[in-house]
Structure 1
Amino acid sequence: MNILIRRIVTLSRYSGKMGRPKKHDEHTAAALLDAAERTIEADGIQSLSVRGLAADVDTTARAVYSLFGSKDGLVTALGARGFGMLAAAVKQVPVTDDPAADLVAAGAAAFRGFVVAHPALFRVAIQHPDPTRSFRSEAVAAFAQLEARVARLGRTSLGGRSALQASVEFHALCEGLAAVELRGQLPPGQEEQTWRSALSALVTGLGTRAQWRD
């Protein structure tokens, strides 16, 4: 996370202008991102405003522009932060001698844990359209963590699918479960169990040869 914020600050279009002392640091950048996440969670991404965020963290609108370039730049940083968190969460799932159980845990514990703790970042990083693909590298890195877990199943457990294809299917189910849970439509008190049941069924089904046609 600190590496990501340092990158954001370093790439700022204003940070080194005319040799002025740096007034806006990584702490301010992190505080602005935290405030933006809270705002989106409470009122949606359309409610974000540069002046509002600056007021929330007792800084100036100029600080936002100095650190992120624009409001869109701040949203990009949020998306990158979200994918960074997701990649870290999946990476932290223990690797055991049961790759199928590990993959289910990557979804039910890591992916779901990220969604529940950071619903706003889930929406920005994964559900919010990013026509500029401005945080593509972070998205690719996060997906690579998932694909590595899927690849551990081996070709015989993927029903002829590539690890990439199986990863897309697994991710799609995770994203769908997340969206349904955030709408409050999973059985109360059984959310994680529902994730584990659905993902276990998918992982088991991956071993059946796919019946698609080109």
Structure 2
Amino acid sequence: MAASNRDRIIEAAAALLAEGGRDAVSTRAVSAAAGVQAPAIYRAFGDKQGLLDAVADHGFVSYLRGKQSNPVTDDPVADLRRGWDLHVGFGLAHPALYSLIYGDPRIGESPAARQGSEILAGMIHRIAEAGRLRVTEERAMVMVQAAGRGMTLTLISLPEDQRDPSLSEAAREAVIAAITTDAPPEEPRGGAPVAAVALRAVLPRTTVLTAAERALLAEWLDRIATAGEVPAAG
């Protein structure tokens, strides 16, 4: 199948999704809108889920471009704040697409969601390198994703005139308080756990240790960070 036909199918499905939600993206409707036969859709995407994943990837491109072009500053926590706001803003601007990507429980992530997770992982890693992460990078990822996605889906479910922007801000600050510390790297509040997370983040760049030594040290640092996670101030 020519690339132009594939693109036309994706664009037709994306338009149907925006207009009528996921239920509007039927094989018959997409075929009619794209001007192709139904078998052509299955040959290109395998099944309907394959088509939906392609639509999600297509729609996610503009969001990822915005997030990747978001300037990186010397304050990784501030960068995470901006990333959160961009994520929520994308969801409210494209509710059907966002719900397609994040609304359905599934084992693993869709290709589009995986790309977003990689960007978030980079943000979290920079906070760890700065010595400002009070939990492991893995836990921080899960906490930010759960809170951010949950808040966005909740706001999408509300009538527009009932959406309170301060809810997102409050959730954002609660998560940031739970995973970060404002103490300078020289005197990290939380002592060993915070220091262990920071050292673990830069360990892969250490060249004076063998692979086996790095693996052993990584295990020790993970144990210190996990056993001594710093309780958030409250």
TM value normalised by structure 2? 0.65
> Residue 178 of structure 2 aligns with which residue?
205
| Cα distance change on mapping 1:188 and 1:134 into 2, 3 Å | closer
One-letter code aligned to 1:176 = G
The answer to whether structure 1 residue 128 and structure 2 residue 104 are counterparts is yes
**Which of residues 141, 152, 166 is equivalent to 2:115?**
141
Deviation at 1:103, TM superposition (A): 0.3
Give CA deviations for 1:61-95 in whole Å, capped at 9, x if unaligned.
24323322332321232244455555444322211
* Matched-pair contact (CA < 8 Å) for 1:82–1:122: no
Q: Distance in 1 between matches of 2:174 and 2:159?
A: 20
CA contact (8 A) 2:103 2:153 kept: no
- Of residues 10, 13, 24 in structure 2, which corresponds to 1:36? 13
Aligned twin of 1:116:
92
Measure how far apart 1:50 and its partner are.
1.2
Larger Rg over CA atoms:
2
Aligned to 2:128: 154
Are the equivalent residues in 2 in contact too, given 1:87–1:143 (CA < 8 A)?
A: no
1:1-214 equivalence runs, <5 A: 15=1, 25-81=2-58, 84-109=61-86, 111-130=87-106, 135-136=110-111, 138-154=112-128, 156-159=131-134, 161-184=135-158, 188=162, 190-191=164-165, 193-207=166-180, 209-211=229-231
| 8 Å CA contact retained: 1:37, 1:120 | no
Residue 106 (structure 1) shift = 0.2
RMSD of aligned residue pairs (Cα, Å): 3.0
The farther-off stretch of 167-176 and 85-94 is 85-94
Q: Give the C-alpha shift of residue 183 in structure 1.
A: 1.1
What is the CA-CA distance between 1:57 and the residue it aligns to?
2.6
Separation (CA, whole Å) in 2 of partners of 1:33 and 1:122? 16
After superposition, give the CA deviation of every residue in 1:107-158 in whole Å (9 maximum; x if it has no partner). Answer: 112x123212332222222222445x5845x543321210111222227422
For residues 9 and 40 of structure 2, what CA distance do their matches in structure 1 show?
Answer: 9
Preserved CA contact (<8 Å) 1:78 1:124:
no
SS at match of 1:157: coil
Give the residue type in structure 1 aligned to 2:75. Answer: D
CA distance, structure 2, for counterparts of residue 143 and residue 189 of structure 1: 26
Residues 129, 188 of structure 1: alpha-carbon distance in 2 compared, 3 angstrom cutoff: closer
List gaps (5 residues or longer) in structure 1.
1-14, 16-24
For this pair of structures, how many residues does the alignment match? 184
- The residue type equivalent to 1:51 in the other structure is R
Measure the CA separation in 1 of the matches of 2:3 and 2:105.
27
Give the distance between the partners of 2:105 and 2:59, measured in 1 at CA. Answer: 14
Identity %: 25
